[in-house]
Structure 1
């Protein structure tokens, strides 16, 4: 599905939107619910990733295909490895078969599991022989995807002796590790994170309880971008959000002050309002703890004519696509002067935005959604627009509710 987004006639916005539960929290809780059936989950994410996770956890098939769901691939690798007596081949889309899992597989092998590669060494599909894991210590580099670390943490309490993880070197994406540990604490599972050592203690069962998933902050980022580009006085109310969030992307509230977006927390919501602001000439932001919002921020800066230097982006190369290269190529078509490295992005101030440019999405949901707010500046085409369902089923409906006109190509 290729679509054309047209500029809002009136850029004064006043709307309320309800956003589905966090994909990050939901997928962690789905694994934990399978290990501890005492858990009930409310406001579960309706994303494709969470649907794939639920299917994978409910099937008894030997071959489990999780399509593009990277979180599911990582979390299920540990889950099936600890599922004693079960043999599973875990596979996914062509892109998924080019996303590395070797660091996680090696850590699980160090714990005594048997995992082999069906094709390329280091990449899915992988054949997992479920094992009773009794070893309780493992090392893993701290600057890798936090999902590798969370994958191990999610199964840790169900291991006979718990688990101690030593993080080697610099630690990145700490908020996502802390999200996992906070969920364990909430469930009554004892854990600690001191220095570079994380410990999770064994727990056979937990008290029966209901967990309400907070709405997804990554999804909120696109509305922050829209309000940044809208007229002063524009407002969007988003639910359901918490001031004390477990999600690293909640740093949006602070970052988007630079663009004149004021965040007010309600009892179960946030209100985004555009106020007058004197924009900085150049924004310098380290996103090592929230890399998923890099695309949104870069595109907001481009639309607002603000230069930026974004760092801490080393994990973006192994996402649904190489997001740094994708940003470079698509923003360049719009007229941006942009350069990227393996870990950073530099954007110069731009005064012109080319119209009616067709944006490739590279099977990456965040490429489609991050570029959508540009419709407040120029008509823009989004190719393969249905990719948004990976994390946000109702995205285009919500764009239309705000007033963006959407037509087919």
Structure 2
């Protein structure tokens, strides 16, 4: 599907089956663990998207040889130290920026890391301070990109870190800990957000043979452990699946995801619990999930462990019979966009109402009219508000290609469940498209 800068969504019900792309979060982590293994490792069915390509290219820039083929990225086990300085660009991938900053600190020489204008606004300071504590020399302004790293001689020990803005700080440290002499004792100084993503990191470390001990307020990893990731297949992305499941719920449709189920190790599997609480019918098997819609009610849910679900859930809440409260979402301000502002602003454009109450997002049911949605270059905002157009005539999504960050074929897959899905538009006027 070619786009002319906008897509006008045609209302209708979602029906059918779809196979979603591989997990973005798992692909990032598997790439780093494969590099740390220093042996041949095949990653089957990686997510090939803008975000994961940044991590792949960063590893290649640091000297790791990877043979790229359709549906498989093969680490050869060959490592050739690159000439200094190494330059790494991470776009607006917070995962790449944080995981690769820690990974780069394992390497000698000078390494320069920079990103998009939005990525330059996103916080990094707690991670940078932790790496400095371990012996890395890092030059940065206000704890943000761009930055220079001089690493290669990290020493183990205790690091205190505030991960209330991003759990990626903790995941970044956990991934490099086995390769640091003396290991790391991570002490959390504030409540950990997005804990499910740290659990995902721990699960993958375990699969790579790394032992991590959980302490009362953090984690302890013994140093100089061997990292040995076996050949690895990336499971389907639950975050990507959530849009179709929510779409089925709000349109009274029925959708089956054929490569996601109860076997998933991803925290966003919380989505089917939330949908069930809202009144949707959910059928789970180890490798499939089916959701049917039949009228929805509001929910009150702690989203601190699954923040990527919030935009889609906020749209779902517009079509419920009562208000919804999504708790502990304040850290969404530091995502690919300020997601709190993006959610509230676009709901207001649709004639709805969403307000922050402390750390909680409260969404009142009801929307009055279609509108042009500004996703703020944020893939999750674009995909979530496309769902509103399935119920509400006149919804137009600006910059639809921003979904390439995590789900390059989103519009094609959505059209398989609802045809005709959309028209391309230019300056708000429908056109035939290609």
TM bucket by the smaller chain? Answer: over 0.9
2:116 and 2:228 mapped to 1: Cα distance? 38
Q: Give the superposition deviation at 1:214.
A: 1.7
> What residue in structure 2 maps to residue 67 of structure 1?
91
**Residue number among 398, 402, 424 corresponding to 1:387 in the alignment:** 402
Task: Normalising by structure 1, report the TM-score.
Answer: 0.92
Structure 2 CA distance for partners of 1:267 and 1:305, relative to 1, 3 Å: closer
Residues 175 and 246 of structure 1 are in contact (CA less than 8 Å); yes or no, is this contact kept in structure 2?
A: no
1:251-276 per-residue CA deviation (whole Å, 9 max, x = no partner) reads: 011000133333323342222233x4
Matched, 1:287 2:303: yes
Displacement of 1:393:
0.9
1:128 corresponds to: 149
Tell me, in whole angstroms, the C-alpha distance in 2 between the residues paired with 1:162 and 1:244. 31
For 2:265 and 2:47, the matched residues in 1 are separated by 15
* Contact 2:210-2:226 at 8 Å conserved across structures: no
Partner of 1:6: 10
Hey, what's the Cα distance between the residues in 2 that align with 1:169 and 1:122? 18
Match of 1:270 in 2: 289
CA contact (8 A) 1:317 1:342 kept: no
Q: Secondary structure at the match of 2:396?
A: strand
8 A contact 1:303–1:353 mirrored in 2: no
Offset of 1:37 from its aligned partner? 3.3
Greater displacement, 326-335 / 236-245: 236-245
1:368 to 382, 387, 403: 382
What is the match of residue 25 of structure 1?
Answer: 26
- Asked if structure 2 preserves the Cα contact closer than 8 Å seen for 1:324 and 1:342, the reply is no
Select 2:203's aligned residue among 182, 193, 199: 182
The 3 A distance-change label for structure 1 pair 207 and 141 is closer
What is aligned with 2:432? none
5+ long unaligned stretches in structure 1: none
Q: SS at the partner of 1:135?
A: strand
Is it true that 1:42 corresponds to 2:66 in the alignment? Answer: no
1:47 is displaced (CA, Å) by 2.2
**Residue-by-residue CA offset, 1:60-117 (whole Å, 9 max, x unaligned):** 572211111110000001001111x221110010101111111110111111110001
1:110 is aligned to 133
Q: Secondary structure at the match of 1:124?
A: strand
Deviation per CA, 1:24-58: give whole Å up to 9, x if none: 11101111111113433222112211111101110
Q: For structure 2, list consecutive stretches of 5 or more residues without a partner in the other structure.
A: 62-81, 426-434
Q: Tell me the residue number matched to 1:245.
A: 264
Retained in 1: the 8 A contact 2:36–2:227?
Answer: no
Report the CA distance between 1:15 and its aligned residue.
Answer: 1.6
Out of 225, 243, 247, the residue aligned to residue 226 of structure 1 is 247
Residue 325 of structure 1 contacts residue 340 of structure 1 at CA under 8 Å; is this kept in 2? no
Mapped contact 1:6–1:406 kept (Cα < 8 A): yes
Asked whether the 8 Å contact 1:80–1:86 carries over to 2, the reply is: no
